[in-house]
């Protein structure tokens, strides 16, 4: 046993290595990025495990599934909305007979610090009929990752590990154990259990449903879930990280409520029943959606009071905090020390000085002067083109949506319809909607702002270098006479705007790739060279 100070994400990564991980895959996404970043560094230093970035969460998931198929242990990591992209293999992989342990780490972002929604991964795990573990601190993140591999192999299912931003990005002291040897390569015990033809799938689905009682038996024992029966006036249910906020306030209460902590799902129905039978009222503290609260409302007698997000005792949106929990427990808000007023200038988010996207947006604004252009955008630094001084973007919904939406907007009659997408987002989810637009020769213009990296999450490499973008686009079927690869630079804005304007006037699909490396990545490279 030794101790290390680790981020929640890093504790997951090290827990996986110590559990005998063979390979890990991910597409970067805040707040999960540091898991595979840690594993890539670990693999470079120590060898033994493979860790790499994938083109998107679906391809990452499928690679991890292949490792499990070969009998070895795999981890796939993503942010919560990434699971939407990987939902197809995820839902189906719960039905197959998982061989090597498969752990699906999903980092939710309550409070939307860097996301477009607050979706709660516990629903996905429940929807797929699989198990979900929810650590409360970095130590549990480490331990639960190790357990998740064991449970995956015990029950032959992928096991979800749900993190939230506050845990993924907090550091804590973690006691770490020994490293387990990797599994040997082995054939699945039943090949038909990996081939989801309807006849096989019907049998496997039935078997999965039969296994639910084993999963519930596991979560109803005292382990990750813990029940302490105390005062009967109130029962507090905490889920994952909410336990810390409760513990911080518990000592100030005039009595000690009964307490059920949930760190493993399916819902521990027996423990919930015992708690509810013992208390007059229940307060549910959970980050994300009212997942447990809603389940309780369905099973409790109507005279039993339940307090939580649905009653307004806890705000229905945003992150939990110790003070929110304090108010939910009926305690007075603590008075903080009044900080002396410091005049802090407003700093709205903006593109870095010298960012190549600045030149792309200046080009776009110049080319569309006098036109009623509709610009659908995508997820990346360039989404900031929606804000002043550019105000150049009308939408940003999900990865890759810019292209499909521009196609639909053009079909509906908008002209010019222009999509702006970064190179890594294009490779992640933009290729298939572009194929649709190519097939239909949609009257739209696509701008791929190619800065050569996944800039927003810290400069991870794009799936392919810029030099391969042109052959890729030609190979997809973009007409060479309406495909332009343009260096972007302040001195080239006028020239590029002329080309873009011509292509906007073309009655059909045009693709413009504006290329220059992210200035932050370029600076990092220069620094590294200087220190080499």
Residues that bind ligand SF4 (CB under 6 A): 351-352, 355, 357, 381, 451, 455, 518-520
| Nearest distance, CB of residue 352 and ligand SF4, angstroms | 3
Beta sheet of 257-262, edge-to-edge order: 226-228, 257-262, 231-239, 281-285, 305-307
Are residues 163 and 172 in contact, defined by beta-carbon separation less than 8 angstroms? no
Select 193 or 351, whichever has its Cβ closest to ligand SF4. Answer: 351
Using CA atoms, how far apart are residues 456 and 460, in angstroms rounded to an integer? 9
Q: Which two tokens stand for residue 408?
A: 């639909």
| Nearest distance, CB of residue 324 and ligand SF4, angstroms | 33
Select 161 or 518, whichever has its Cβ closest to ligand SF4. Answer: 518
| Nearest distance, CB of residue 483 and ligand SF4, angstroms | 23
DSSP string, 459-486: -EEPSS-GGGHHHHHHHHT--GGGEEEE
Select 293 or 423, whichever has its Cβ closest to ligand SF4. Answer: 423
Select 19 or 351, whichever has its Cβ closest to ligand SF4. Answer: 351
CA-based nearest residue to 505, from 378, 418, 412, 409: 418
Select 424 or 443, whichever has its Cβ closest to ligand SF4. Answer: 424
| Nearest distance, CB of residue 229 and ligand SF4, angstroms | 52
Select 259 or 516, whichever has its Cβ closest to ligand SF4. Answer: 516
Are residues 172 and 137 in contact, defined by beta-carbon separation less than 8 angstroms? yes
CA angle, 188 then 194 then 199, to 5°: 135
| Nearest distance, CB of residue 520 and ligand SF4, angstroms | 4
Select 32 or 451, whichever has its Cβ closest to ligand SF4. Answer: 451
DSSP string, 369-435: TTS--EEE--SSGGGGGGSTTT----B--STTHHHHHHHHHHHHT-SSEEEEEEHHHIIIIIHHHHH
What residues contact residue 119 under an 8 Å CB cut-off, 6+ apart?
A: 80, 81, 84, 108, 289
| Nearest distance, CB of residue 459 and ligand SF4, angstroms | 7
| Nearest distance, CB of residue 358 and ligand SF4, angstroms | 8
Cα–Cα distances in angstroms (integers) from residue 272 to residues 128, 311, 488, in the given order: 22, 19, 60
| Nearest distance, CB of residue 496 and ligand SF4, angstroms | 17
What residues contact residue 130 under an 8 Å CB cut-off, 6+ apart?
A: 94, 157, 158, 159, 160, 215
Select 323 or 524, whichever has its Cβ closest to ligand SF4. Answer: 524
């Amino acid at each position: 046993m030794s101790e290390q100070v680790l981020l929640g994400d890093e504790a997951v990564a090290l827990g996986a290595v110590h559990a005998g991980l063979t390979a890990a895959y991910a597409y970067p996404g805040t707040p999960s990025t540091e898991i595979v970043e840690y594993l890539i560094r670990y693999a470079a230093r120590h060898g033994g495990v493979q860790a790499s970035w994938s083109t998107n969460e679906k391809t990452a998931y499928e690679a991890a599934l292949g490792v499990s198929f070969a009998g070895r242990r795999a981890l796939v990591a993503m942010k919560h909305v990434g699971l939407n992209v990987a939902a197809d293999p995820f839902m189906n992989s719960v039905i197959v007979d998982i061989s090597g342990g498969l752990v699906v780490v999903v980092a939710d972002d309550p409070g939307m610090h860097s996301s477009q929604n607050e979706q709660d991964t516990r629903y996905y795990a429940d929807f797929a009929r699989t198990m979900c573990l929810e650590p409360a601190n970095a130590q549990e993140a480490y331990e639960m990752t190790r357990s998740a591999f064991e449970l995956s192999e015990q029950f032959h299912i992928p096991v979800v590990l749900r993190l939230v931003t506050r845990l993924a990005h907090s550091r804590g002291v973690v006691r770490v154990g020994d490293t387990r040897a990797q599994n040997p390569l082995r054939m699945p015990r039943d090949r038909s259990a990996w081939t989801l033809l309807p006849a096989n799938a019907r049998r496997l689905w039935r078997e999965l449903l039969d296994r639910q009682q084993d999963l519930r038996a596991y979560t109803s024992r005292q382990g990750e879930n813990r029940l302490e029966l105390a005062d009967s006036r109130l029962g507090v249910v905490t889920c994952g990280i909410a336990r810390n906020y409760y513990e911080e306030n518990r000592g100030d209460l005039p009595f000690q409520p009964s307490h059920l902590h949930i760190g493993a799902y399916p819902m521990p129905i027996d423990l919930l029943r015992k708690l509810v039978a013992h208390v007059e009222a229940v307060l549910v503290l959970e980050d994300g959606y009212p997942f447990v609260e809603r389940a309780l409302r369905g099973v409790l007698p109507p005279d039993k009071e339940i307090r939580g997000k649905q009653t307004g005792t806890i705000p229905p949106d945003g992150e939990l905090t110790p003070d929110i929990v304090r108010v939910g427990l009926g305690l007075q808000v603590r008075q903080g020390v009044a900080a002396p007023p410091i005049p802090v200038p407003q700093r709205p988010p903006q593109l870095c000085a010298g960012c190549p996207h600045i030149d792309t947006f200046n080009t776009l604004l110049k080319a569309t002067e006098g036109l009623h252009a509709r610009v659908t955008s995508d997820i990346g630094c360039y989404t900031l083109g929606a804000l002043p001084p550019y105000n150049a973007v009308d939408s940003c919904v999900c990865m890759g949506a810019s292209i499909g939406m521009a196609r639909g907007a053009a079909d509906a009659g908008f002209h010019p319809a222009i999509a702006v997408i970064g190179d890594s987002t294009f490779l992640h989810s933009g290729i298939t909607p572009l194929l649709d637009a190519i097939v239909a020769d949609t009257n739209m213009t696509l701008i791929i702002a190619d800065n050569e990296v996944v800039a927003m999450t810290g400069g991870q490499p794009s799936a392919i270098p810029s030099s391969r973008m042109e052959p890729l686009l030609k190979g997809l079927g973009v007409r060479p006479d309406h495909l332009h690869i343009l260096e972007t630079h302040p001195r080239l804005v006028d020239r590029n705007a002329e080309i873009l304007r011509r292509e906007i006037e073309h009655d059909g699909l045009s693709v413009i790739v504006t290329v220059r490396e992210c200035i932050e990545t370029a600076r990092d490279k220069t620094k590294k060279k200087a220190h080499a």
